[in-house]
Structure 1
Amino acid sequence: MLPITTFKTVVASTPLISIDLIVRNNQKQVLLGLRNNQPAQGYWFVPGGRVRKDERLENAFRRLVSAELGSESEINNARFLGPYQHFYTDNFSDEDFSTHYVVLGYELTLNINLNDLPSDQHQDYRWFTVDELLASDQVHQHTKDYFFEL
């Protein structure tokens, strides 16, 4: 983990690489969490997180599924949706700089008990139909973007 001042410089100066997990259950509903943190704080968003330096994508995927969903899955069990770009005017701190992510979207099917999910990144979880999430003003546009191409 980088010291906070170094990480601020990285976020202010470079794009970050992340993996987003588009999780569906057997009813084809999509798992979204209500974000605790900036950017996208207060919006419903798919789970995911940053890829660490020197971390293989397969390992990042496995780590994020475990940390974000409390489950186990391998990257070859997911469907790669492609790269996406997420631009935010804010960042994780209160300082004035933007955040830019290059996001790798992966779709997978998992039946998850919402009560077992962690609360550090999301304060609430729920299953949405695609029509519900596309119609909601509380679902972030970057999450909606995953469903325009499916």
Structure 2
Amino acid sequence: MLPLNDFKKIVELTPLISIDLIVRNREGRVLLGERLNKPAQGFWFVPGGRVLKGETLEVAFARLIKAELNSAVISSSFKGVYQHFYDDNVSGESFGTHYIVVAYEIFLDCDLSSLPTEQHLNYKWFEEDKLLLDSNVHLHSKWYFQKEKEADIAFC
């Protein structure tokens, strides 16, 4: 990991690459976690995380499945590339965060109490139509389920 000051400079000056995991259970519900950290702190958000320097997408995907879902690598389907812009950042200083996000959908039935709590305080299974109406679900997570927005947001 980088020293905090180096990482802050990177966040201030460059986009970050990340993977978001659209997790569905066998009933088709979507897993969201209540974010502990900035950006998007306090909002319900899909699991995911940054791709590290020198890490392939495949290795990052496997690492994030383990870190975010306490699970082993499972099959996935590519959903697109998205851009997320935030007014804040993890350091709390006065600059925004820009992510280029590679989104994958996976199917996983898991016990919510077994999920890690480093990034998300609580977890909940949402019905897709209800998460779209919930003001506590972050807009960037809603984008994955807004069919009419896909053409404007995703690059495939």
- Indicate the TM-score class for this superposition, using the shorter chain for normalisation: over 0.9
- Runs (4+) of structure 1 moved beyond 2 Å? none
Q: How does 1:14-53 map to 2 (within 5 A)?
A: 14-53=14-53
**Structure 2, unaligned runs of 5 or more:** 151-156
AA aligned opposite 2:11:
V
Aligned to 2:34, the other structure's residue is in SS state strand
**Structure 1, unaligned runs of 5 or more:** none
**Residue 131 of structure 1 corresponds to which residue in structure 2?**
129
For 1:94 and 1:18, locate their aligned partners in 2 and report how far apart those are by CA, in whole Å: 20
TM-score normalised by structure 2 residue count: 0.93
Aligned to 2:104, the other structure's residue is in SS state strand
For 1:32 and 1:79, locate their aligned partners in 2 and report how far apart those are by CA, in whole Å: 18
* Percent of paired sites with the same residue: 57
Deviations 1:93-149 (A, max 9, x none): 121010000000000000010000011100000000001100100000000000113
For 1:50 and 1:82, locate their aligned partners in 2 and report how far apart those are by CA, in whole Å: 16
AA aligned opposite 2:80:
G
Deviations 1:39-69 (A, max 9, x none): 0000000000000001010000000000000
**Residue 153 of structure 2 corresponds to which residue in structure 1?**
none
Residue correspondences, number: 148
For 2:118 and 2:62, locate their aligned partners in 1 and report how far apart those are by CA, in whole Å: 18
TM-score normalised by structure 1 residue count: 0.97
